[in-house]
Structure 1
Amino acid sequence: MTWRARAAAAAFGVAAIGATGLVPAFAADPVGSIGNDLTKVTILNINDFHGRIGGSTGLNFACAVQQAKAAAGAGNYTFLSAGDNIGATPFVSSAQEDNPTIDFLNALELESTAVGNHEFDRGFSDLTGRVTERSDFSQLGANVYKRGTTTPALPEYYLTDVNGVKVAVIGAVTDETPTLVSPIGVSMIDFGDPVAAVNRVAAQIADKADIIIAQYHEGATEGEPPSSLADELARGGVFERIVKETSNEVDAIFTGHTHKQYAWSGPTAQGTRPIIQSGSYAENLGVVELGVDPVTKTVKQYTHTNVKIADHNGACDADPAYVAARQIAESAQAYADEVGKKPIGKISADITTAFGVDDDGSSKRDDRLRESTLGNLTAQIWLEAMNTPGRPGADIGIMNPGGLRDELLYKASGDEGDGVVTYAEAAAIHPFANTMQTIDITGAQVKTLLEQQWQPAESSRPFLKLGLSDNVRYTYNPDASAGERITGVWVDGKPIDAAATYTVASGSFLIAGGDNFTVLQEGKNLRDSGLIDTDAFMNYFLKNDVVAPSFEKNGVAVTGIDLPLKAAAGQAVKLTVSGVDLTSLGSPSNTQFTVHVGDVKVGTAVITPEHIDGVPTRDGTSTVTFTVPANAASGATVITLKAEPSGTVVKLLATISAGSGKGPVIETDIPAEDTTLVGPVLTLALMLSAAGLLLWRRHGAQH
């Protein structure tokens, strides 16, 4: 609506609500279909496309877009995006720096997009140079500013005319972007509050447009099902602010980044407005229809839905835009096939990210709260790559879960044969082309690094599980306070030395503090190897005959005791271990622990496949009970639990004190420091002893 119409509507709306408690008559309402007396404006929207142009996915998507345009009618629609069109893409696109994806979206006449964090993967200069120059669509970032200023560094909005209605589109990106890309590549810009930026621009352009649309590359943490708008608002954070604080000048809100699917009606001072996100990877097309009063230019009605992309079955073969997009995709696929079909190694079984449960109950890859065979293998590869001759050397390898963009599957994807890994398959897992780096941190900072897996309060994900090289193990208490969750860390089989220096190896993104692992920014002696992560990954397969997945966990939860454990010889100990099982494809369910105190086996404990919701979620739980040997030597020792069949080893530091030498330890509910009951209890014990002696004497006399 125009500025004057908006101002009048807002003023009238407040008065009407105050007087009657009712929503004013001009408020926008969700409907089944737009009334014939209103001007229809159709918005077609995508988010988190991530270069899905290859195969049937790309062709079905292209046809769905063209069919939606035809249904709306020429001149009655605009085609937009909420960001992450490029970056983290399959090999068909990444093999040519995502140029095919840009060309594909150009062919489908994408008009404008909010920038996503992945648009910055190759740095700000690449976005404003190569990407912008190649794109026929505008790249919007209202909350992106030149460093240290409030001067916009990107276009803030886009204006277009749809069915005679002036439409403005404002774009904003998550302010977490500096933690999600290499900080060096965005060192010349700042990322401000996205909601404040949208509101600022909306106020500035209200007299230039009849309708304002906000494109946020930020969104709800869960979709529907199982979540709801009320659930997401109750969670708080940035999505609550998007819903509640985005200016009433904005008529529709499109979101992205979290890869969720929902179509909700969010409250405004004047009624409601659509708030929508369409999943990711070209699986849906978001469609919002706005019914606009032809006189006042106010939005009176709206529909909003996510249209599932279906097989096109040749329906678009005569459509010129579809044909152009298909030719681009086919050319890109031919190039990728030729480059990528070269075999580089073999695997003995699936090596994958962690799998969880999607909103609809189906299995879903890339559960970043969980440890994975692929994440741990990658961290091990980074460690070994930095320890080859001519490289800087390292003690620990780490890998961020969001950098794993595909799976290593044993079943052949083409004619290469089962178990064969090709160049394309390896490149699809690590498409970011980060350089391999090392940095020195202390043992205390290693512990902080593991603590930072629990993300800041307003992060899109509450936990990000680091992949770790196979020489690292740790225990944690998920119920402890922030900063106190990590209860033990072991490197090369020994407890970590808080004061010692450890050299950590990873890609430049993580070493620079990406994904909120900011303690790495405090490190010293940063060294860049010049080796690209994709090349390091491929080199590992080239020099190993067959690579097998390891199902050993590096991090498990231990609760029920304080660590390091203090126990007496002969004392019974009870603790709970959870999170023993991986969820990567092919991972076994562990069945039992073998327990040792020092070198002495003291028993076994059953492991059940129990699932625990929490941060992080966990599978595989055991209640472990054992007795410290009565003849155990006093002093420091190690309690070792080895899980079968995965081989996971859990080590717990313990200090053993001498036992009483008078039999087993008797547990009572009397606190050790409470002496008020000692006298009465001792008196009772003496009385019982005397009574027992008297009965014994009488019993003896009767015989």
Structure 2
Amino acid sequence: MLEIRILRRTFTRLIPVVLLPLVAACAPAGAIKSTAPPQTVTVGIVAINDFHGALTPPKTSVIVGDGKGGVVQVPAGGAAWLASVVDSVRGQYPNHLTLSAGDMIGGSQLASSMFLDEPAIEVMNRIGLDYNAVGNHEFDRGRDELKRKATGGCQQFTSVKPCRLEPFKGAKFGYLAANSLEEDGSTLFPATALRSFGKGRNKVKVGIIGITLEATSDLVSRDGLGGVHFANEADTVNALVPQLKAQGADAIVLLIHQGGYTSGGEPDPNGCGQLTGGIRPILDRLDSRVDVVISGHTHWSYVCNYADYNPAKPFLLTSAGVFGQLVTDIRIEIDPRSKKVVAKSAHNVIVQSEGYPTRNGQIDTKPGFPLFQPRADINAYVAKYTAASATEIERPAGRLAGEVTRPGGDSSRTGGTLGNLIADAQLAATRAAGAQIAFMNPFGIRAPHRLTPAGDGTLTFGALYAVQPFNNTLVTQSMTGADIKAVLEQGFDDNQPIQALSPSAGFTYTYDLSRPVGDRVTSMMLDGKPIDPAATYRVTTNNFLASGGDSFAGFALQRDAAIAQLSDVEALEAWLKGDQPRAVPTEKRAVEVKH
């Protein structure tokens, strides 16, 4: 457990808190002396992030070092198990908050996504979530559908009919979106919240700010934003901290849908080695009166004393990974007299659930880690939705001659054989529109980042949907060779993270990251011939990329665009149909030149 003690600024190192007894010892004669320690108020915070509608165990593991140079795979996740862990952690604290740092929905399991993520919201209602910061995936189905998630009702804003199993009453928790601004400058949801704990002289207040990443408009279809735009994260927070302090906030907790990565040493969900990522420049500019930063977006897990990186910014920084596989147990101690946080600590609890089979054998539960039982009410609720979607999940949807993967998963900047397969499917689906090339964005490939067929090569629709859950449409447009190079370069520019688009068969390119930005793509070939910068080609992408998503603004040109009448996952299913299993695309199409 990481623990950080905060003392008065006149002290330059950590020492026991003995300030009040020392003052008493110097009091004038006749004064009442007290040796009682100052009474603090403990507030427990249960934190999650990036749940992504993971109603059932996702059949992936939390990886932990075994202390011997190896690793232990702990099967984790599932809403009913998550609820039990939340109850267990929350039960330690009479004063508590349960908070989420965004992406509660979107990119979800089929059992949730088929029903517009209404069951994911209802699960969080039953768990007792207090607040959720809006993440980029909350906008996947557009602004109006997100507002319906908050307020309830059955008005239809997408191609999918809402309220198919039951009336939807909306979230019982609060959405916070301090930097998600409407066209008139108002916030889409409230910017902050303030909660009080204790009574009388021991009453304390915790202020909460909710922020999504400024680049959200690059990560979702802009057509659905309805004029919503996103302000700078640090500027927004720094303007709100004085307001919360003026309202009496003794502690400030930031929920931010942006995060980092750690590296070095053995895998450790409570480690913080070599922290990098988009969260760091934000923290370095943040008002130091923020006490706790609960982050997300990167699907990474960590617990950090950020003072180790910037002594002027002594934040407690946490992230609980992805899919409800971890819960962060955060404890803060507030002195109601000084109105300050005097100690804070956190650790990630693994939501160990049930074992699952893999191609390489069974992943069993691990006795060295707590094993939780699923909470009965949520287990029954989830079962209703999984039963309703079971026929579609288990439906055979094609055959494949072997496994395809995106090696490295969320941490990889390439799509691997899985990205190639998806690009091939999209090219085949849009040949009638003249398509010659198709591109797939690796970050659009979701966990489990692999398709593993059965012994006879069969794949279920549930398996296809797990890696392609967004129901994007396909857009084919005209681009010159120079346009194609420019858009590939955008994957390697300074607007991080780096992402090498996966191309369809017949198109190959090389890139060299040691070269200057804008000149890193060193070759492009189509069917063995160099791409002509002046020639025009027909290029297919999903509609997310076609609107400039993932910072590929070059696709937003939309010249002579043709929109297919099927979704990306339908195109993948169509490609896998046939008398024989579809061959695995093994060739390397996007190749990094290394020196």
With the length of structure 1 as denominator, give the TM-score of the two structures.
0.68
2:445 corresponds to: 404
**Counterpart-to-counterpart distance in 2, 1:404 and 1:294:** 48
Partner-residue secondary structure (3-state), 1:258: coil
2:82 corresponds to: 61
1:597 corresponds to: none
1:288 corresponds to: 330
**Counterpart-to-counterpart distance in 2, 1:288 and 1:383:** 48
Report which of the two structures shows the higher radius of gyration computed on alpha carbons.
1
2:60 corresponds to: none
**Residues 1:536 and 1:524: Cα distance change in structure 2 (over 3 Å):** same
2:125 is aligned, of 95, 98, 106, to 106
Partner-residue secondary structure (3-state), 1:324: helix
Equivalence map 1:224-263=2 (5 Å): 225=265, 231-232=274-275, 238-263=278-303
1:77 corresponds to: 96
2:23 corresponds to: none
1:141 aligns with 2:143: no
Equivalent residues of 1:44, 1:285 under 8 A apart: yes
Task: Using the TM superposition, give the Cα deviation of residue 153 of structure 1 relative to its aligned residue in structure 2, in angstroms.
Answer: 2.3
1:474 aligns with 2:514: no
Structure 1: gaps of 5 or more residues? 1-8, 29-34, 357-364, 559-577, 579-611, 613-703
1:508 corresponds to: 543
1:629 corresponds to: none
**Counterpart-to-counterpart distance in 1, 2:111 and 2:458:** 19
2:148 is aligned, of 104, 109, 129, to 129
2:167 corresponds to: none
Equivalence map 1:249-648=2 (5 Å): 249-267=289-307, 272-311=314-353, 322-353=375-406, 355-356=407-408, 365-388=409-432, 392-405=433-446, 406-412=448-454, 418-457=456-495, 459=496, 461=497, 463-543=498-578, 545-558=580-593
1:204-254 deviation per Cα after TM superposition (whole angstroms, max 9, x unaligned): 22232332211110112335757976843xx6x742233232223322111
Equivalent residues of 1:160, 1:166 under 8 A apart: yes
**Residues 1:277 and 1:346: Cα distance change in structure 2 (over 3 Å):** same
1:505-563 deviation per Cα after TM superposition (whole angstroms, max 9, x unaligned): 111001111111111123412222232222222222234631121110012245xxxxx
Equivalent residues of 2:394, 2:460 under 8 A apart: yes
Partner-residue secondary structure (3-state), 1:525: coil
1:218 corresponds to: 258
Equivalent residues of 1:224, 1:261 under 8 A apart: no
Task: Using the TM superposition, give the Cα deviation of residue 120 of structure 1 relative to its aligned residue in structure 2, in angstroms.
Answer: 0.7
**Counterpart-to-counterpart distance in 1, 2:477 and 2:487:** 13
**Counterpart-to-counterpart distance in 2, 1:315 and 1:498:** 59
Task: Using the TM superposition, give the Cα deviation of residue 492 of structure 1 relative to its aligned residue in structure 2, in angstroms.
Answer: 2.2
Equivalence map 1:6-17=2 (5 Å): 13=9, 16=10
Partner-residue secondary structure (3-state), 2:262: coil
With the length of structure 2 as denominator, give the TM-score of the two structures.
0.80
**Residues 1:346 and 1:408: Cα distance change in structure 2 (over 3 Å):** farther
**Counterpart-to-counterpart distance in 2, 1:230 and 1:249:** 24
**Counterpart-to-counterpart distance in 2, 1:368 and 1:60:** 29
Equivalent residues of 2:400, 2:453 under 8 A apart: no
Equivalent residues of 1:345, 1:545 under 8 A apart: no
1:415-467 deviation per Cα after TM superposition (whole angstroms, max 9, x unaligned): xx65211121112221111111112111011111221221434x2x2x11211
Equivalent residues of 2:414, 2:502 under 8 A apart: no
1:171 aligns with 2:210: yes
**Residues 1:225 and 1:159: Cα distance change in structure 2 (over 3 Å):** farther
**Counterpart-to-counterpart distance in 2, 1:171 and 1:125:** 19
**Counterpart-to-counterpart distance in 1, 2:414 and 2:444:** 14
1:195 is aligned, of 231, 234, 247, to 234
**Counterpart-to-counterpart distance in 2, 1:89 and 1:223:** 27
Matched AA of 1:374: L
Equivalent residues of 1:408, 1:421 under 8 A apart: no
Equivalent residues of 1:24, 1:271 under 8 A apart: no
Equivalent residues of 2:102, 2:135 under 8 A apart: yes
**Residues 1:132 and 1:43: Cα distance change in structure 2 (over 3 Å):** same
State the identity as a percent. 30
Matched AA of 2:77: T
Equivalent residues of 1:437, 1:529 under 8 A apart: yes
Partner-residue secondary structure (3-state), 2:53: coil
**Counterpart-to-counterpart distance in 2, 1:491 and 1:241:** 40
Partner-residue secondary structure (3-state), 1:473: strand
Partner-residue secondary structure (3-state), 2:259: coil
Answer 1 or 2: higher relative contact order, Cα 8 Å, separation at least 6.
2
1:50 corresponds to: 52
Equivalent residues of 1:431, 1:534 under 8 A apart: yes
**Residues 1:135 and 1:37: Cα distance change in structure 2 (over 3 Å):** same
- Give the RMSD, CA atoms, in angstroms: 2.8
**Residues 1:224 and 1:276: Cα distance change in structure 2 (over 3 Å):** farther
Equivalent residues of 2:100, 2:132 under 8 A apart: yes
Equivalent residues of 1:142, 1:154 under 8 A apart: yes
Larger deviation, residues 343-352 vs 517-526? 517-526
**Counterpart-to-counterpart distance in 1, 2:475 and 2:339:** 56
Matched AA of 1:62: A
**Counterpart-to-counterpart distance in 2, 1:474 and 1:207:** 56
**Counterpart-to-counterpart distance in 2, 1:42 and 1:387:** 57
**Counterpart-to-counterpart distance in 2, 1:191 and 1:399:** 26
1:455-500 deviation per Cα after TM superposition (whole angstroms, max 9, x unaligned): 434x2x2x11211110101223332111112222111221111111
Task: Using the TM superposition, give the Cα deviation of residue 296 of structure 1 relative to its aligned residue in structure 2, in angstroms.
Answer: 3.1
1:653 corresponds to: none
**Counterpart-to-counterpart distance in 1, 2:40 and 2:327:** 24
**Residues 1:507 and 1:254: Cα distance change in structure 2 (over 3 Å):** same
Matched AA of 1:293: D
**Residues 1:156 and 1:101: Cα distance change in structure 2 (over 3 Å):** same
Partner-residue secondary structure (3-state), 1:334: helix
Partner-residue secondary structure (3-state), 1:370: coil
Equivalent residues of 2:50, 2:321 under 8 A apart: yes
Larger deviation, residues 512-521 vs 531-540? 531-540
Matched AA of 1:96: F
Matched AA of 2:281: R
Structure 2: gaps of 5 or more residues? 1-5, 20-36, 58-75, 153-169, 355-369
**Counterpart-to-counterpart distance in 1, 2:450 and 2:274:** 36
**Counterpart-to-counterpart distance in 1, 2:242 and 2:14:** 23
**Counterpart-to-counterpart distance in 2, 1:26 and 1:193:** 37
**Counterpart-to-counterpart distance in 2, 1:409 and 1:53:** 20
Task: Using the TM superposition, give the Cα deviation of residue 271 of structure 1 relative to its aligned residue in structure 2, in angstroms.
Answer: 7.8
**Counterpart-to-counterpart distance in 2, 1:311 and 1:238:** 31
**Residues 1:552 and 1:165: Cα distance change in structure 2 (over 3 Å):** same
Larger deviation, residues 343-352 vs 267-276? 267-276
Equivalent residues of 1:449, 1:519 under 8 A apart: yes
**Residues 1:522 and 1:247: Cα distance change in structure 2 (over 3 Å):** same
Task: Using the TM superposition, give the Cα deviation of residue 98 of structure 1 relative to its aligned residue in structure 2, in angstroms.
Answer: 1.4
**Counterpart-to-counterpart distance in 2, 1:93 and 1:223:** 33
**Residues 1:286 and 1:482: Cα distance change in structure 2 (over 3 Å):** same
Matched AA of 1:282: G
**Residues 1:68 and 1:387: Cα distance change in structure 2 (over 3 Å):** same
**Counterpart-to-counterpart distance in 1, 2:233 and 2:312:** 22
